[in-house]
Amino acid sequence: MTKVLPAIIPTSKEQLEEEIKKVAGFAELVQVDISDGVFTGVKTWPYYGRDTDYFEKLKNEEEGWPKWEDVDIELHLMVAHPENVVEDWIKTGVSSVVAHVEATNDFQKFIDICKEKQVGVGVALKPSTNIDSIKDFVSQVDFIQVMGSNLLGKHGVELEDTAIEMIKSLQKLYPDSIIAIDIGVTEENAETLVALGVDKIISGGLILNSDNPAGEFKFLESTDSDVN
């Protein structure tokens, strides 16, 4: 069964609460996208300027993530120099963190902090990035997250062919690694992606904007890799 994570791009505490509640009945793990406006050009909470006090309360364990009893948070840090901020985010109680190899010259430090704090760690890369950039880290991370497009921080972006080629290459180079895809997953291409080697689907708009989010989630979760 394919691992599926709803993806949330929060601009406020209210939106974060609403969307986590929307998926809490069927998803045990949610990926929350955090953008600083530097690495991606898009800002999310708390960099957006709203509800920064909520982040401080999370960090100081004065509040918890929405539905924290039922849902674990995997954090997707789309920020410059993630090694400088990841420890604060770990303090909020996330179970795992993925950051971009393109965002830092010291990805090893990011990994070391996550390992020391005993949270899961992933490496993300854009489809335009040379896959050799992660060769030193593959054995140290829990998964590789391929972005379906170079356009980050938005829902509804189409999957680029370069992302498909990257998945093929990664599967050949690292057949034992968990490969995730984030951006551009549709009902039409999900089966093909799984057949190519994707173990983990991260989907935002397809699930959140559906009239039947639970049904969409279950459809992706049951995706079969047997493609004719």
* C-alpha to C-alpha distance for 213 and 208, rounded to whole angstroms: 6
| Mean pLDDT in residue range 43-61 | 95
pLDDT per residue over 107-120, tens digit each? 999 999 999 999 99
Show the tokens assigned to 176.
């034992």
Structure tokens at 107: 């990805």
Q: pLDDT-derived band of residue 226, with 50, 70 and 90 as boundaries?
A: low
Query: How far is residue 197's CA from residue 140's CA, in Å, rounded to a whole number?
Result: 20
Kind plus residue range of the DSSP H or E element containing 97: strand 96-100
- What is the predicted pLDDT for the residue at 228? 38
Pairing of strands 200-203, 3-8: parallel
- B/e letters for 27-61, b = 16+ CB within 10 Å, e = fewer, are bebbbbbbbbeebbebbbbbbbebbeebbeebbee
Cα–Cα distances (Å) from 83 to 90, 111, 123, 178, 213, in that order, read 11, 8, 12, 22, 34
With residue 163 as reference, give the H or E element that holds it. helix 161-173
Please choose, from the candidates 58, 63, 3, 65, the residue with its C-alpha nearest in 3D space to the C-alpha of residue 32.
65
DSSP labels for 18-69? HHHHHHTTT-SEEEEEEEBSSSSS-B-TTTTSSSHHHHHHHHTTSS--TTTT
Q: How confident is the model at residue 225 (pLDDT cuts 50, 70, 90)?
A: low
- Asked if residues 39 and 15 have their Cβ atoms less than 8 Å apart, the reply is no
pTM recorded for the entire structure: 0.95
Q: Considering the chain, what percentage of its residues have pLDDT values greater than 70?
A: 98
Mean pLDDT across the chain: 95
